[in-house]
Chain A
Amino acid sequence: MLGPLARLNRRDFVRMSAAGLSAAAVLGPRRARAAASPYPDWLPASQKPPKRGGVMTRASAWDPPVIDPRHTQSVGLFQFAGLTSNRLVRYPFSDEASGPADLTLKGDLAESWQSSADFRVWTFKLRQGVKWQNLPPLNGRELVAADIKYCFEQYAKEGVQAFTFQEIEGIETPDKSTVRVHLKTPNTLFPQNVAEPVAIIFAREVLEEDGDLKKRLIGTGPYTLKEHTRKVRVVLQRNPDYYDKGRPYVDEYVILSTPDAATRLAAFRTGQADFIWVASPSEAEVIRKTNPQTVVQAYHNTLAPFGVSLAQDRPPFNDVRVRRAISMAIDRQKMVDTVFEGHGILGWGVPYIYYQDAPPTAKDFGPWWQYKPAEAKKLLAEAGHPNGFETTLFYYEYFPQMTSQVQLVQQDLRKNLNINVKITKLDYTTYYGRYVEGKWDGMSWGFQSGHAIGLDERTYMYMHSKSTKNFFRVNDAVIDELTTKLRRTPDRAEQRAIAKKIVDREYDQVLRMWMPYDNGFLLFQPHMRNVAAGALRRTDGYGSPTLVRSWMEK
C-alpha cells in the first residue's frame, strides 16, 4: 500500500508541481524574486462596526493528534483549543495590538495580577461572572479559583506543561475569585508562562468523569467544540454565554483537515477557505493573479525554530573553535536568497523583540556568524583538524525547503572545511525520539517548540543546563547565571539588557547554530476583518484566539 509514497519525495514534488503549474498557468515563466515583499506586515483593525454571523472556514494541514491539552503541544490542537478555552492572562488580539511585535499582557480569566516583592508569590484576581460552557457535566456553572488550582496541579503532575507548573510550590484560593500561586524560586516572567497557548484552563469534572481529556474539550472560551471528526473536520460553535458579551462575531468556525498543500491552495482560490498561510513570495503572487482581491499580510518571524544542533558535550564539538569554524563556513545569506526567495530571516533563537527594536542584521550576530571561509579553515586547523573530519547529521523534513538547507550546509562544510557530513533523513517519529533523547552523536537539525512566545520559555527553559527542554545540550555557566538572573529581574529595561547578554553569549560561544527560516505570508479573503497575525503567533496556528475578534463583511 505504501509503494508510491516510499519511492518518491512526494511533498517536494507536489509543492513544486502545484506552485510551478499554477505559475505556468497564470503567469508564464518568471524567475524567483529575491526582492523584499511588497505586502504590509500589519493589517490594522477595521474601523467599521463588526457584523455578526457567518461561517468561517479554513483548510488546515494539521489534525489534532489528541484533544487532551496535557498530552500535546501540537499546533493541530492549539489551532482551536485557545478558542474553546481561556488562560489566566493572554497576549493582545489583533484589534487591540499596536503592531505585530506588541506583547503586552492582557487579562483573560484574570482581571488583574500582581506579585510579591520577591516575585515568588503571584496573586491573580479572577473576572466575575465567567461561566463554563453550557454542556454536561459543567452545565454552565461559574468558574471559581479552585478550578484554576486543580488545573495547574494536574499540569504539574503530567503533561507537556509540566516543567512550567512544577515550579509551583503551592496554590492558595482564599476566596472563589482569588488564586495565589507560590513559586519555588522567584520568577518575574511567570505571568508570561501562564499566557502561553498550552496553559489553557480545562474542566475538572471532565477529567474526573472520563479519566482523561481525550473525548471532550469543554472550557470557558468563545466557542464550543461542536464536532471533531479525525481527519475530516473540527467545528466550533459560538458560545452564547461567553463572558465578553457580544463576542465572538462569527457563528461557526470550521477547520477542514486538508493534508495536501496544493489542495489547500485550491480551497482558498475557490473560496472554500477564508485564510491560508503560504511560504514563499511566488506562491503569494500566483494566488493574487487568480484572486486579485486577496489581502496579504507579510508575516515576519521573530525567531527561527530550527538550527544545526551539535553534540557539544563531546569531541570535536565541545571545542568552541570547532563550533565557531563551522558557523563561519556556512553562507546563511545565500540560503535566504535562494531557498526562501529573499523573504526569510537569517536565524536567531530568542525573539529579538525582547532585546532590540528592529530585526537583527548579520552584523548584530558578531564575528563567528559572518561567512568567512578562509578564517573558518584557519580556526579549524588551530583546533587540531586541518584536514577536516567526518561527522553525521540527522533530520526530519518539517517543510520541503529544509532539505535544501541541509544540503547547502553539507556543501559549505565540505567545500570550506573538508568536513564530510553524512546526512540521514528520518521520519518524524524516529527523528523526534532520537533528538529529544539527547544521546546522539555528531550533528542534528535541531528545533525549539513553536508554541511558546514568552521570554522565560525562550531563554531559561531552552538554554539552562538543568532544563528538560534544553534539547541543544547547552551547558554554559554564564548562560545558567544569566537566565536565572533574568527570571528575577522585574524591570523591563534590565530584562532587555540581560536578554541581550544571553544572546550575545549564545552567538559568541556558538551554543545554538540557528539557520535561516522563512517568513511566509498570510492570505485572507477580502471579506475578513481583524485577523492579522501577531508576533510569533499566526492566526492559523497558536495565535488563533485572536479570531474571537474577527468578523466577516459579507
Chain B
Amino acid sequence: MQKYVLRRLLLAIPVLLLSSLIVFSLMRVMPGDALIALMGESGNVGEKELAKLRKDLGLDRPYVEQYGLWLWQMVSLSPGHSIFTNEPIGVSLRKAIPVTLELAALAMIIGISIAVPVGVLSATRQDTPSDYVGRVVAVSGLSLPDFWLGTLVITFAAIWFHWIPPLGYVSFWDSPWRNLQQFLLPAAVLGFRLSAATMRMTRSTVLEVLREDYVRTAWAKGLAGRMVVYKHALKNALIPVVTIIGGQLGVLLAGTVVVETIFALPGMGRLTVEAILYRDYPVVQTNVMLVAATLVTLNLVVDLTYAWLDPRIRYS
C-alpha cells in the first residue's frame, strides 16, 4: 500500500511538470501584453517605460530562465506577486481557496445526497413512474449548463420569493448562518449537475448488481429488501460510482468558475478568470498548478477508496 502511494506520488511529478510547461507556454503564446494593458490607459505607452517594467518584473529574461525561476518559486511555496494588483499570490489564494473548497464540498454533499438515493430508487423501481422521474431529473442535470441554471435560479428567486442569497461574501467563522445562505443556492446548482451523471451510474450499476447470484441468494435467505439493497447490493455497486464522482471533480471545479461569478463569490474560479483576462501570468500559472495538484491528489484518494469499498482489491 505504502509502495503504491509512493509510486503514485512519484508519477505525479512528471504530470505536474508537464502541466507547468503547458501553462507556462500557453501564457506566453497568448496574444495580448499585460504590461501594455497595465500602462496603456494613460495613452503613454513609451518603449522605455515598458522596458523598465518588463525588467522589474523579470519578463525580459529568456523564457527558460523565467520558467526555471517560476518552478523554483512554486517548489519553495513563494509564488510571487500579481502583476496587476501587486498583491502576494499567497494572500490571494488564502482568501480564494476556502471559498471554492466550501462551495465544492457543499456541492459534493448535495450532489451525492441526491444522486445515490434517487439512483437506487430508479434501479429498484425500474420502469415505474418514479424511475422515469429520476431519469428525467438526471438527463436535465446533464443537459442544463450551470450558468443557465444559476441565472434561472437567482432570477426566479428574486421574482417569486423576493429573496436571493445575501451578496458580499462572509466567511463561515464570521457568520455561519449568513455564510450558509450565501452558499446554499450555488452549491445546489453545482450539486444538481454533479448528481446527474452519478445518478445514472448508480442506477445502472445497482441494476446490474441486483441481478447477481449473491443478491438472489440474499433474497432467497429471506432478508429484508432494505438490507439486500443497501447492505449487499449498494456497497458492491459503489466502485464505478466512486470512479465517476472522482471524474466529476474536474467538472465541479470548472463549474465553480461560472457559479462563483453568478453568485458573486470570491473563489478560485473568479480569481483565475480575472487573471487570464489581464494576462496576469504568475497568478494564472500558480492557480493552474494548484488545480492540477488537487486533481492528482483527489484521483489518488479515489483509487485508495476502492480498497475500502472492496477488500479484495490489493495495491501492489
Binding site for B on A (CB under 8 A): 1-5, 8, 10, 13-14, 17-18, 21-22, 25-26, 59, 63, 65-66, 71-74, 158-163, 212, 214, 229-233, 254, 256-260, 262-263, 265-267, 269-272, 290, 426-434, 436-437, 449, 467-469, 471
Q: Establish whether residues A427 and B277, one from each chain, have CB atoms under 8 Å apart when the complex forms.
A: yes
Contact B257 A2 (CB under 8 A): yes
Report yes or no: A263 in contact with B145, Cβ–Cβ below 8 A.
Answer: no
Chain A residues, CB < 8 A from B155: 17-18, 21-22, 25, 262, 265-266
Cβ of B74 within 8 Å of any chain A Cβ, yes or no, is no
**Is A163's CB under 8 angstroms from B43's CB?**
yes
Given A14-B147, A258-B167, A267-B167, decide whether A72 and B41 contact each other with a Cβ distance below 8 A: yes
Told that A1-B269, A266-B154, A468-B44 touch, could you supply 17 new A-B pairs with CB distance under 8 A? A2-B254, A2-B257, A2-B272, A2-B273, A5-B257, A21-B155, A74-B41, A263-B262, A267-B158, A270-B158, A270-B163, A290-B159, A427-B277, A429-B33, A429-B37, A432-B36, A437-B40
B160 to chain A, nearest CB (A): 8
- Can you list 29 pairs linking A and B with CB atoms under 8 Å apart? A1-B269, A2-B272, A21-B151, A65-B278, A66-B86, A163-B43, A230-B85, A230-B87, A230-B95, A258-B167, A259-B261, A259-B264, A260-B261, A262-B155, A263-B264, A266-B164, A267-B158, A267-B164, A272-B166, A429-B279, A430-B30, A432-B36, A433-B36, A433-B40, A434-B31, A436-B40, A437-B40, A449-B41, A469-B43
Contacts of A230 in B (CB 8 A): 85, 87, 92, 95, 266
Give, as a whole number of angstroms, the nearest-CB distance from A2 to chain B.
Answer: 7
The complex places the Cα of A426 from the Cα of B273 at a distance, in Å, of 15
Q: Is B258 at the interface (CB under 8 A from chain A)?
A: yes
Across the interface, A260 reaches (CB within 8 A) one of B87, B151, B255, namely B151
Q: How far is the CB of A482 from chain B (nearest CB, A)?
A: 21
Chain A residues within 8 Å of B44, by CB? 162-163, 468
Bin chain B's interface residue count. 35 or more
Contact present for A14 and B151 (CB under 8 Å): yes
Query: In residues 137-177 of chain B, which contact A (Cβ within 8 Å)?
Result: 145-148, 151-152, 154-160, 162-164, 166-169
Contacts of A65 in B (CB 8 A): 84-85, 278
A437 CA / B147 CA spacing, docked (Å): 35
Contact A4 B146 (CB under 8 A): yes
Kindly provide the distance from the CB of A427 to the nearest chain B CB, expressed in whole angstroms. Answer: 6
Nearest Cβ distance between residue B248 and chain A, in whole angstroms? 13
| Cα–Cα, bound, A256→B168 (Å) | 6
**Chain A, interface SS category:** mixed
Q: Smallest Cβ distance from A193 to chain B, in angstroms?
A: 14
Most chain A beta-carbon contacts within 10 A, residue among B36, B151, B163, B258: B151
Count of A-B contacts judged by CB separation below 8 Å = 186
Q: How far is the CB of A240 from chain B (nearest CB, A)?
A: 24
In Å, the complex CA distance between A33 and B78 comes to 56
Q: In the bound complex, do residue B253 and residue A427 qualify as a contact, i.e. CB atoms below 8 Å apart?
A: no
In angstroms, Cα B254 to Cα A4, docked, is: 7
Q: Which residues of B contact A436 (CB under 8 A)?
A: 36, 40, 43, 45
Contact status B270-A231, CB under 8 Å: yes
- B69 → A minimal CB distance (Å): 23
Q: B276 interface residue, CB < 8 Å from A? A: yes
B42 near A163: Cβ-Cβ < 8 Å: yes
Q: Which residue on B lies nearest to A266, using beta carbons? A: B158
Given contacts A256-B264, A259-B264, A429-B278, contact A8 B145 (CB under 8 A): yes
Question: Considering the chains assembled together, what is the distance between the CA atoms of A272 and B167 in angstroms?
Answer: 8
The docked-state distance in angstroms from the alpha carbon of A260 to that of B262 is 5
Contacts of B146 in A (CB 8 A): 4
Cβ A159 vs Cβ B42 within 8 A: yes
Q: Indicate which residue in B43, B168, B264, B277 contacts A429 across the interface (CB closer than 8 Å).
A: B277
Given A14-B151, A270-B158, A429-B32, does the pair A2, B264 have CB atoms closer than 8 Å? no
Taken together as a complex, chains A and B put the C-alpha atoms of A229 and B33 apart, in Å, by 26
B43 lies within 8 A of A13 (CB): no
- For residue B282, give the distance in angstroms from its CB to the closest CB of chain A: 15
Any chain A CB within 8 A of the CB of B34? yes
Assembled-state Cα–Cα distance A279/B54 (Å): 39
A26 to B156, CA, bound (A): 10
Which residues of chain A have C-beta atoms less than 8 A from B278's C-beta? 65, 428-429
Nearest CB to that of A272 among chain B residues?
A: B167
Q: Which residues of B are found within 8 Å of A160, using beta-carbon distances?
A: 41-42
Give which listed residue, B45, B258, B266, B272, contacts A232 with CB less than 8 A: B266
CB distance from A361 to the nearest CB of B (A): 32
B70 beta carbon closer than 8 Å to chain A: no
CA distance A428 to B273 in the complex (A): 12
**Neighbouring A residues of B233 by C-beta, 8 Å:** none
CA distance A8 to B146 in the complex (A): 12
**Contact status A265-B158, CB under 8 Å:** yes
Q: Which residues of A contact B36 (CB under 8 A)?
A: 429, 432-433, 436-437
Asked if B266 contacts A162 (CB within 8 A), the reply is no
Q: Do residues B258 and A10 form an inter-chain contact, with CB atoms below 8 A?
A: yes
Q: Which of A72, A162, A263, A437 is B164 in contact with, Cβ under 8 Å? A: A263
Across the interface, which residues of B come within 8 angstroms of A22, CB to CB? Answer: 155, 159
Q: How many angstroms from the CA of A158 to the CA of B42 in the assembled complex?
A: 9
**Residues of the B chain whose Cβ atoms lie less than 8 Å from the Cβ of A163:** 42-44
Q: Is the CB of A269 within 8 A of B40?
A: no
Cα–Cα, bound, A4→B154 (Å): 19
B24 interfacial contact with A, CB 8 Å: no
- Point out the residues of chain B lying under 8 angstroms from A21, CB to CB: 151-152, 155-156
Say how far A327's CB is from chain B's closest CB, in angstroms: 25
Q: Do the beta carbons of B167 and A263 come within 8 Å of each other?
A: yes
